[in-house]
């Protein structure tokens, strides 16, 4: 399999595993990735997920241009037919937190996967680029839309229009990353973040993510109303009562997602 997938103690770890090709994505691997996003969303035993790449040199350099020739179908067939959408991030929409751990080069579709995650950290040797304009195309899995929302229009346009590559320090400076760590600490740091999230009340965690995602596209007054409604929904849950009781009793809470 070109993608390794395992779940341990409520945390899923997705590892792109074609290091001989810098974890580039061919069509079979693309299908695996799309199926994994759905599995994360549907598996109630998963509370958070970490996405990373095999090896020290590359997270994912996007599509394998040598093994992904242009499709035979028309765009209308692909867009409106029975065929699965080819976007790498189709199905990644989930209320469960996704942590991306960039372990090297993150280019094209590889970076776009990271942009669709909630938290991004990187090893200090990581490099980033959306260089599609250099080969006559555009980022097609959300890059032109997610990047400006994450780092601001000017920095995003600089990357998108030049196709330039930046290092981890610059990615941290412009807000693409939350943290940069030595390569040997990357996996453990990502798992620690996922563990801290998974230890919290799952309904509250998912509510927070959904509110942030939806609120970005709402007027502030409507977003605040949605936040208040979510607070009211969570107010009467068993988990909220357990959290308050555990705090008073100075013990670790036991959350059950209800």
Per the residue annotation, which of 32, 132, 227, 242 is the catalytic one? 132
Per the residue annotation, which of 112, 184, 225, 249 is the catalytic one? 112
**Residues comprising the chain, all counted:** 258
Cα torsion for 75, 79, 85, 87, to the nearest 10°?
A: 60
Is residue 44 part of the annotated active site? The answer reads: no
- Residue with structure tokens 């030595």? 182
Cα gap 82→140, rounded to integer Å: 19
**Token duo for residue 81:** 């037919």
> CB neighbours (10 Å) of residue 154?
9
Specify the pairing of strand 105-107 against strand 11-16: unpaired
Q: Classify burial at 95, counting beta carbons within 10 Å of its beta carbon; exposed 0-12, middle 13-18, buried 19 or more.
A: middle
Cα torsion for 230, 231, 232, 238, to the nearest 10°?
A: 100
Is residue 132 part of the annotated active site? The answer reads: yes
**Token duo for residue 123:** 């090893």
Helix, strand, coil shares, percent, the chain, to 5: 45, 15, 35
> CB neighbours (10 Å) of residue 220?
8
> CB neighbours (10 Å) of residue 18?
20
> Where in the sequence numbering do the catalytic residues fall?
112, 132
């Amino acid at each position: 399999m070109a993608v390794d997938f395992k779940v341990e103690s409520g945390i899923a770890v997705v590892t792109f595993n074609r290091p001989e090709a810098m974890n580039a994505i061919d069509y079979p691997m693309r299908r695996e990735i799309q199926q994994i996003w759905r599995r994360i969303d549907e598996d109630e035993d998963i509370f958070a997920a970490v996405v990373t790449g095999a090896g020290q040199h590359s997270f994912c350099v996007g599509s394998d241009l040598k093994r992904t020739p242009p499709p035979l179908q028309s765009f209308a067939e692909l867009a409106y037919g029975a065929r699965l959408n080819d976007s790498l991030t189709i199905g990644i929409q989930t209320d469960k937190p996704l942590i991306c751990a960039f372990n090297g080069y993150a280019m094209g579709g590889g970076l776009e996967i990271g942009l669709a995650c909630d938290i991004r950290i990187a090893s200090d040797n990581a490099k980033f680029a959306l260089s599609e304009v250099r080969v006559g195309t555009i980022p097609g899995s959300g890059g032109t839309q997610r990047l400006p929302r994450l780092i601001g229009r000017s920095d995003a346009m600089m990357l998108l229009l030049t196709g330039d590559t930046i290092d981890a320090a610059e990615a941290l400076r412009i807000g693409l990353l939350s943290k940069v760590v030595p390569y040997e600490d990357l996996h453990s740091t990502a798992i620690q973040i996922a563990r801290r999230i998974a230890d919290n009340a799952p309904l509250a965690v998912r509510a927070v993510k959904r509110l942030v995602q939806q609120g970005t596209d709402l007027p502030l007054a409507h977003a605040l109303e949605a936040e208040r409604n979510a607070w009211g929904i969570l107010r009467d849950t068993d988990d909220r009562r357990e959290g308050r009781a555990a705090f008073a009793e100075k013990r670790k809470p036991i959350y059950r997602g209800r």
